[in-house]
Amino acid sequence: MSPNYMRSFSEGCLRPPTVIGQFHTLFFGSVRMFFLGVLGFAVYGNEALHFSCDPDKREVNLFCYNQFRPITPQVFWALQLVIVLVPGAFFHLYAACKSIEQEDILQESFYTGFYIFSVFLRITLEAVAFWLQIQLFGFKVNAIYMCDVGALEKKFITRCMVPEHFEKTIFLIAMYTFTVITAALCIAEIFEISCRRLGILKTQ
């Protein structure tokens, strides 16, 4: 791919054709990624090391932690961020290859429909991620986790201490909030596009 295509692609990703889309990129790229990258590591970075069960044995701690966290929240949210970016990136790659200017996206019906479809995909992926997050993590992190260690020699339930459970609950709620905000921005972006197509708002 030529440098011009790469430049058009990067400009399209960083500067979508709508005002709300640009705000979504700013919010998504700076606030959400910073929150996950910096604060997420601070909250979840040492969780596995401080997760302890009774009896406090390494194999029991590891077994119960894997049961408690089938996937670590940082990995889940990082995958969510990457996957949600894919529809928009695919559209802007298509626009770069076709040499479509950003101001033309809202003028041509086909390009507008394609762009709206990519926004709908982002909303769908955010909704799926929201549902998966509920299934995996719930809305609250309890201080005590009851672990079934029946797969280890003896059949019994053991108590495990979850470190910094209150901080994790706050962080969990924050990530739910970010998902709702980004989905709402996508819906508002579709509304803005509709208003521009109807002439209610002036096209940039």
Quick: pLDDT tens for 10-34. 555 556 677 787 777 777 777 777 7
Distance between CA atoms of 131 and 119, rounded to whole angstroms?
19
CB 91 within 8 A of CB 118: yes
Q: What is the DSSP letter of 153?
A: S
In Å, how far are 60, 119, 136, 144 from 151, measured between CA atoms?
A: 10, 45, 21, 20
Residue 128 pLDDT: 94
Domain chopping of the chain, boundaries = 21-40+48-197
Q: Token pair of 179, please?
A: 């998902």
Residue whose C-alpha is closest to residue 122's, from 83, 91, 175, 95 = 83
Indicate the pTM of the whole model: 0.81
**pLDDT, tens digit, 9 for 90 and up, residues 153-191:** 666 778 888 888 888 898 889 889 988 988 898 899 888
Distance between CA atoms of 100 and 105, rounded to whole angstroms?
7
**pLDDT, tens digit, 9 for 90 and up, residues 78-135:** 888 888 888 888 887 777 777 777 777 777 778 888 888 989 999 999 999 999 999 9
CB neighbours of residue 199 within 10 Å: 8
In Å, how far are 32, 136, 178, 180 from 39, measured between CA atoms?
A: 10, 20, 14, 19
Distance between CA atoms of 139 and 124, rounded to whole angstroms?
21
Top CATH class, 21-40+48-197:
mainly alpha
Distance between CA atoms of 161 and 53, rounded to whole angstroms?
6
